[in-house]
Amino acid sequence: GAVVSQHPSWVICKSGTSVKIECRSLDFQATTMFWYRQFPKQSLMLMATSNEGSKATYEQGVEKDKFLINHASLTLSTLTVTSAHPEDSSFYICSAKRTLQVLKNIQYFGAGTRLSVL
């Protein structure tokens, strides 16, 4: 159980276009989801916290108009990279926190999305 699906796994796009990444909790409800960015050989950097039915909370230095987050249901959050540029190329990872009290302390991660902007 506790599977988080992230789609697509790899996307290549032209500079100036927008890209949407989906994060789904397949077998549990997730009130809160998180979006991370990871550069090669580096750690995960939290970009924003996504809460179902409300606005996302962005970390300092992350442009909210650049990285649009929508969490419309208890099982789906999306990250849209708007007007992507080569410097946005990175590995994006989502995670989901279970709503159920018993296992609330654990975050489950998606497999990540590699974004390459040409």
Partner 1 sequence: AQTVTQSQPEMSVQEAETVTLSCTYDTSESDYYLFWYKQPPSRQMILVIRQEAYKQQNATENRFSVNFQKAAKSFSLKISDSQLGDAAMYFCAYRRDQGGKLIFGQGTELSVKP
> Which one, 14 or 41, has the nearer CB to partner 1?
41
> Which one, 45 or 82, has the nearer CB to partner 1?
45
* Residues in CB range of 69: below 8 A, 6 or more apart: 35, 48, 50, 56, 77, 78, 79, 80
Distances (CA, A) of 106 to 55, 70, 100: 22, 22, 10
Query: Contact positions toward partner 1, by CB under 8 A?
Result: 32, 34, 38, 41-44, 46, 49, 91, 93, 95, 104-109, 111-112
**Shortest Cβ distance from residue 25 to partner 1 (Å)?**
15
**86 preceded by a cis bond (ω within 30 of 0):** no
**Shortest Cβ distance from residue 83 to partner 1 (Å)?**
26
**Shortest Cβ distance from residue 12 to partner 1 (Å)?**
17
